[in-house]
Amino acid sequence: MARSYHNSTRWMITFLVLMIALAGCGTPQDKEGSASSEQFTEKAGEQVAQDETKQGAGETKVLKDEFGEVEIPVNPKRVVGIYLEDYLLALGVTPVVQWYHPSWGKQDYLGLEVPTFDITGSIESLLEASPDLIIVDGAADAAKYELYSKIAPTYRLPESILQSPPEILKTIGDVLGIPEEAERALSDYNKKIADTKAKLDQAVGDETVAVLRLNIGDKTLALFGIENRFTGNIYKEMGLTPHPFARDMTDFQAILSEEKIPELDADHIIIFPSNGSWDSEENQEAMQVFDGPLWKSVPAVKNGHVYRGDRTHWQSGAIKANMMKADDLLNWFVQESN
């Protein structure tokens, strides 16, 4: 049975009426410094009107997501896409909040000017955003999903598509009722990736590539494998040849031990920090690894074939981020070869 939200407005009205009645029972001292009963009533009426606009006027449809069936608005206006903001923007939709994690920051490359939602903290900012639809990816387990569902209808992307940015884009387009926008964005994406692949094949050929992340917290280097959601597409879609270390990995990433660093004989290395930028003061201590003899012994380092990426789009596998990575690769490899 689909989760229904038809009774939420009735419940909200009942709750607000009760709160208004309680507000009228207080003593003058209780009310000092707070909104008057009339102001509270007016605010309550505005909230109810907003809810009725969102739900009473809106048609709904039932879709099947990862956890079952969910009833969602046919034409949602206030959309949240937790860690999916990239796809929303690609579809011409501006989310009402942006995902944020205190250890990882947010996706600055999107240039969003909306409130942030700290996924590790209170859901207050999510409540204040008053969404009429929330879309989540694999980071939302059943418990988190149920929590979000108490705020607004929540659609959890199917696990089977999470490794495919084009499928995610099409699915979100269908959920939002704008499949034509998804087709347009996907057409632009496919053209960009195909053009990049052709140019990289001409410029780089079979030369091997490895992608590393400098983990600022523990000062380690993580190697990203071909199945990594963030960077695997540079191999699978853009045709670059992974170094055997990355090619043979079954995990998304693995810490590169000190004894393995000299064995990383990739022709090209792409690296980005786990947080902040290359100029961030807090990153300078971790960057001392690049001054050591082990790092300096790596062939790509000796040959000047190490490329410093921006972590905000290199730590995303979404549509706009992948297109920005394509631009980086063309800038690093194609111009270098000319």
Encode pLDDT of 226-237 as tens digits: 999 999 999 999
- H/E segment holding residue 212: strand 208-215
156 touches 104 (CB < 8 A): no
Q: State the chain's mean pLDDT as an integer.
A: 86
pLDDT over threshold 60, residue 338 = no
Torsion of CA 178, 181, 186, 189, to 10 degrees: -140
What residue segments make up the domains of the chain, in order of their start?
A: 1-57, 58-177, 196-337
Higher pLDDT, 50 or 182: 182
pTM assigned to the model:
0.81
299 touches 265 (CB < 8 A): yes
Rg of the chain (C-alpha set): 24
pLDDT over threshold 80, residue 4 = no
Q: How far apart are CA 270 and CA 227, in angstroms?
A: 16
pLDDT over threshold 70, residue 200 = yes
315 touches 83 (CB < 8 A): no
Q: How far apart are CA 115 and CA 29, in angstroms?
A: 35
CATH number of 58-177: 3.40.50.1980
- Domains 58-177 and 196-337 fall in the same CATH topology: yes
pLDDT of residue 104: 82
Q: Which amino acid is at 209?
A: V
Please, which residues have CB within 8 angstroms of residue 239's CB and are 6 or more apart in sequence? 197, 200, 201
Q: Which two tokens stand for residue 298?
A: 């790596």
Distances (CA, A) of 209 to 47, 222, 223, 315: 54, 14, 11, 17
Q: Where does the pLDDT of residue 216 fall: very low under 50, low under 70, confident under 90, or very high at 90 and above?
A: very high
pLDDT of residue 224: 98
pLDDT per residue as tens digits for the range 274-299: 988 999 998 999 999 999 999 999 99
Crossing angle of the two packed helices 179-203 and 319-329, in degrees rounded to 10: 20
How does DSSP classify residue 263? G
pLDDT of residue 2: 60
The CATH classification of domain 196-337, taken from the options 3.30.70.120, 3.40.50.920, 3.40.50.1980, 3.30.590.10: 3.40.50.1980
pLDDT over threshold 70, residue 170 = yes
Q: Which residues of 164-196 are buried (b: 16+ CB within 10 A; e: fewer)?
A: ebbebbbbbbebbebeebbeebbeebeebbeeb
Q: Which two tokens stand for residue 212?
A: 């590393």
Q: Which two tokens stand for residue 317?
A: 């596998």
Positions of E strands within 42-97: 60-65, 68-73, 79-82
Place of tokens 């990426």: 309
